[in-house]
Amino acid sequence: MADIIIMDGKCPEENINAVIDKIKMLGFDVNLSRGTEKIIIGIIGDTRELSEEVFVSFPGVIDVISILKDYKLVTREFHPADTTVFAGNIVIDNKHFVIAAGPCSVESYDQMFTTAVFIKNHNGKILRGGAYKPRTSPYSFVGLGKEGLAILKDVKNETGLPVITEVLAPEEVEIVADVADILQIGARNMYNYRLLERVGRTSIPVMLKRGFQATIGEFLSCAEYILKAGNNQVILCERGIRTFDSQFTRNCLDLSAIPVLKKESHLPVFVDPSHGTGKRELVIPMSRAAVAAGADGLIVEVHPKPEEALSDGYQSLTFDLFEKLIKEITPFIHIMGRII
């Protein structure tokens, strides 16, 4: 089995092309990652019957490595350098700390515009808001749909803030992608493989949220579907897993997942402390912890009047609390060597 071919970074281009041509001749696709010292060529496809001996004699080849995992494209073996994601005019990488904020649901233009202006003035870089909402109960507010998308588009044009919003089904990807700078795949849809493949065929960044019963391996395997379809602009989001305790928190926010994901994968990692705890008073302390654990950003629910929110008001920050959040996490961001 051969999955990764490591070549000398100083070898001639003709040697690299010879290896790539051989891989393609055998019916596989190629992922090329160039470093100063080494060049890594990933072989994409079912490599179980492909012998390592096929490539060891090629000039410039240092090593041939097998990846014994269900996910390959998301691993650091395949792609050692951190991936940079570009969302509108925002850069998501290992130098910046990016905050996405806004209401759980789009309810009106005034609600979204007021929130967008506030978060923009307080270091929020991306506006979140759900036009389509998957809810546990079919009788709960499920979003404004196309009307909500139109509101997001207007507010985006007015404020210049990039938008992240959820897409629920493959057939809705095109209409949501017309507005969104980041397509969100919610926890309930993490295993929706047709949806993952469909967003993978776009060039728009995708935030994939971890399912509340998913292992980290399953989470990364689902991200693999998106990358395999062609889209490497993927953000992983830890948003809490279900445990035995439902009295004090909505979910258990698994902060240990942050360093694990950062070690295992090259993709940026965000944390959702709103869904991860389900308690407004826990959002700020868990955000501080997320920064310290090495997260690349947060996605936080903020509402001008949480007591009137049509969804998730109990876990949404007020404007005053969002301002407090920024003040409290900024020193931690600087300590971690990041720019907010």
Residue 78 lies in a domain: no
Q: Are residues 163 and 38 in the same domain?
A: no
* 99 and 40 together in one domain: no
Residue 133 is predicted with a pLDDT of: 72
**Is 340 domain-assigned?**
no
How big is the chain, counted in residues? 340
* Sign of torsion over alpha carbons 322, 324, 330, 335: negative
Q: What is the CATH number of the domain that holds 16?
A: 3.30.70.1140
Residue 143, pLDDT score = 76
Q: 115 vs 61, 160, 169, CA distance in Å? A: 54, 13, 27
Q: For residue 74, is it within any domain?
A: no
Q: Are residues 230 and 330 in the same domain?
A: yes
Structural domain total, the chain = 2
User: Are 124 and 38 members of one domain?
Assistant: no
State the pTM of this model: 0.89
pLDDT tens string, the chain, 340 residues long: the values are 568 899 999 999 999 999 999 999 999 989 888 887 899 998 988 888 888 889 999 999 999 988 878 888 999 988 889 999 999 999 999 999 999 999 999 999 999 999 999 999 999 999 999 998 776 666 566 778 999 999 999 999 999 999 999 999 999 999 999 999 999 999 999 999 999 999 999 999 999 999 999 999 999 999 999 999 999 999 999 999 998 877 788 899 999 999 999 999 999 999 999 999 999 999 999 999 999 999 999 999 999 999 999 988 899 999 999 999 999 999 999 999 999 9
Q: What is the pLDDT of residue 144?
A: 87
Same domain, 172 and 256: yes
Check whether residue 302 and residue 196 sit in a common domain: yes
**77 within domain boundaries:** no
The answer to the question of residue 102 being in a domain is yes
- Per the structure, the complete domain to which residue 97 belongs is given by 85-335
CATH number for the domain harbouring residue 126: 3.20.20.70
Clarify whether residues 21 and 122 are in a common domain. no
Burial track 75-104 (b if 16+ CB lie within 10 A, e otherwise): bebbbeebbebebbebebbbebbbbbbbbb
- Are residues 108 and 61 located together in one domain of the fold? no
54 plus 137 within the same structural domain? no
79 found inside a domain: no
The three-point CA angle 184-280-176 to 5° equals: 15
Residues 97 and 58 placed together within one structural domain of the fold: no
Query: Do 186 and 279 reside in the same domain of the chain?
Result: yes
Token pair of 246 as six digits: 């439902």
Burial readout 37-48 (b: 16 or more C-beta within 10 A, e: otherwise): ebbbbbbbeebe
Q: What is the pLDDT of residue 135?
A: 60
**Is 108 among the domain residues?**
yes
In this predicted structure, what is the pLDDT of residue 137? 66
Examine residue 72 and state whether it is found in any structural domain, yes or no: no
* Distance separating alpha carbons of residues 258 and 210, to the nearest angstrom: 12
- 18 shares a domain with 117: no
Query: Which of 17, 32, 65 is the C-terminal boundary of a domain?
Result: 65
